[in-house]
Amino acid sequence: MKKTILSFACCFAAGTTLAAETSVLIFGASHHGSCDAARWNCELSSSNPGLGLELAEPGPDYTLFIRGGGYRDSLRETAYFVAGGGRKQWEISDEVVAGAGVMVGYLNGSGVHGLAGLPFVTVGGKLLQLEIGYAPKLQWKDRMMPATTTFSLRWQLQ
């Protein structure tokens, strides 16, 4: 996992423009919806530690980003991803912002090995925000993942 994160960091750093914002992603937890234990393995972990890196290009109306990282998935295996997306943020007060976004990319883990997407909302300060993602119930071939809510932090470096 350390090699994967280092590889992403080197690739992102090589393509960085002067205006890009860099953030560290800290993955941590998930909550799973109901699962039919008679048909599927429902012993899923809610502890999902990991790290990632994001490069973002802020615009006047929204921010575009690329990110990648690795984490311990709910199946207790190492997962990694690389994705691109966008988010919109609103200033609630001088110290609080909220936002919404979506990312799409390649995921290898969490029962998926291919294209995946994740819509999310954010809340927090201007440099440190909680990201809450939501993946609906997925039943594909012989695998099922219940609806999953993810919790992670995005810490923008200055």
Short-list 57, 70, 74, CA closest to 9: 70
Q: Is residue 95 part of a domain?
A: yes
* Calpha distance 152→133 (Å, rounded): 8
Q: Is residue 27 part of a domain?
A: no
Please tell me what DSSP assigns to residue 125. -
Q: Is residue 105 part of a domain?
A: yes
pLDDT tens, residue order, the chain (158 aa): 555 544 555 555 555 445 689 999 999 999 888 877 776 677 888 899 999 999 999 999 999 999 999 999 988 999 999 999 999 999 999 999 999 999 999 999 877 889 999 999 999 999 999 999 998 887 766 667 788 899 999 999 97
Q: Is residue 106 part of a domain?
A: yes
Short-list 44, 25, 43, CA closest to 118: 25
Report the domain count for the chain. Answer: 1
* Calpha distance 124→47 (Å, rounded): 22
Q: Please give the pLDDT value at position 96.
A: 97
Q: Please give the pLDDT value at position 5.
A: 47
Q: Please give the pLDDT value at position 145.
A: 75
Asked if 122 and 154 count as a contact pair (C-beta separation under 8 A), the reply is yes
Residue 109 is part of which domain span? 2-20+33-156
Q: Is residue 28 part of a domain?
A: no
48 backbone dihedrals φ, ψ, rounded to 5°: -130, 65
Q: Please give the pLDDT value at position 50.
A: 97
Q: Is residue 25 part of a domain?
A: no
The domain that holds 127 is classified in CATH as: 2.40.160.20
Q: Is residue 11 part of a domain?
A: yes
Q: Is residue 26 part of a domain?
A: no
